[in-house]
Chains A and B, each alone.
Chain A
């Protein structure tokens, strides 16, 4: 299986900050990467697919970049509703695998 490693595991930030989350694949996955947001007690929500494509309805302050093995999710101008846990997922080989998650907390 392809291993997905996220960093950091948690980050403290303030409203208005820019937050960057990294995701590294154990082998090249081209642009076959998705990012999800999960709030406590809720199902994950797809934010970004194909590494950099914004899912419909997702605010433009979320952006994704990268290809191959290294990827980044950036949240610019962090809003109160953005405090959550974020997961990356490789979508090139079966079984799909997720990163361990990054919790964005209020500073």
Chain B
């Protein structure tokens, strides 16, 4: 079964750093893109960026460029999304998903990671 399993919920303070993960299984991890999508509380879906684990080629949505870093460790079939300095406005659920192209649809998705940033 093709599956993405994300790391657990996080509660952080403004200014702290964070790295969440997305582990793939059941498929050739290095031959598909992994995209990240944000969903703020009660809101819609926002595409953040995408990475190709085979060569770590990464593309960011302009809205998220410089705000987050997407990376991968193909030796453990895991992609990451990280922040160096969190803000309260980063409070959201973050999803990863498998894509066949940088602009394509995602399927399947991970279960989501809730990040809460509060002082």
Which A residues contact B (CB, under 8 angstroms)? Answer: 1, 32, 34, 36, 42-46, 49, 55, 87, 89, 91-101
Does B59 sit within 8 A of A, measured CB to CB? yes
Beyond A91-B103, A96-B47, A98-B45, whether A46 also contacts B108 by CB under 8 A is yes
14 CB < 8 A contacts A-B: A42-B112, A43-B109, A44-B97, A44-B106, A45-B109, A55-B107, A95-B61, A95-B62, A95-B103, A96-B103, A96-B105, A98-B46, A100-B44, A101-B45
B70-119, CB < 8 A from A: 95, 97, 101-112
Residues from chain A with a CB closer than 8 A to the CB of B97 are 43-44
Count class of interface residues, chain B? 20 to 34
Residue of B nearest to A87 (CB): B45
B7-66, CB < 8 A from A: 37, 44-47, 49, 59, 61-63
Residue of B nearest to A99 (CB): B44
Nearest first, the 10 closest Cβ-Cβ pairs linking A and B are A95-B61, A34-B105, A46-B107, A43-B109, A98-B45, A94-B103, A95-B47, A96-B47, A91-B104, A101-B44
Residues from chain A with a CB closer than 8 A to the CB of B104 are 91, 96
Which B residues contact A (CB, under 8 angstroms)? Answer: 37, 44-47, 49, 59, 61-63, 95, 97, 101-112
* A94–B45 CB distance below 8 A: no
* B95–A44 CB distance below 8 A: yes
Given the complex of chains A and B, what is the CA–CA distance between A91 and B47 in angstroms?
A: 11
Residues from chain B with a CB closer than 8 A to the CB of A34 are 105
Shortest C-beta distance, A1 to chain B (Å), equals 8
Residues from chain B with a CB closer than 8 A to the CB of A89 are 45, 105
Shortest C-beta distance, A55 to chain B (Å), equals 7
* A97–B47 CB distance below 8 A: yes
* A43–B107 CB distance below 8 A: no
Beyond A94-B59, A95-B61, A95-B62, whether A46 also contacts B105 by CB under 8 A is yes
Shortest C-beta distance, A18 to chain B (Å), equals 25
